[in-house]
Amino acid sequence: MFGERFWSGLSECRVPQRHRRLRHGLNLAAFLGVPFVVWGLVALDRWPIVMAPVLIIGGKRWYTDRMALLDEDMVGERHDRR
């Protein structure tokens, strides 16, 4: 993922604040699907088992989209970062 290159080199470049806050929230959203998996498997209930992938995959896809936006923002400032 292109945007993650900038997270690994935080000391070398400044990541805009709007990207910092949302990153943690989206990872938390993906993590919140894990209890639904456990609950659905223990209770043998369908809706938590369906809801878990929606949260996990949805959160990770949104995170991936934000990393692409971070890459566009960072490269848009300086083309030597490409």
Q: What is the mean pLDDT of residues 14-24?
A: 74
Would the pTM of this model clear 0.85, i.e. be above it?
no
Question: Which carries the bigger pLDDT value, residue 16 or residue 1?
Answer: 16
What is the per-residue pLDDT for 20?
A: 72
How much is the mean pLDDT over the chain? Answer: 79
Percentage of the chain beyond pLDDT 70 is 77
Indicate the pLDDT class of residue 52, thresholds 50, 70 and 90.
Answer: very high
* Calpha distance 57→10 (Å, rounded): 26
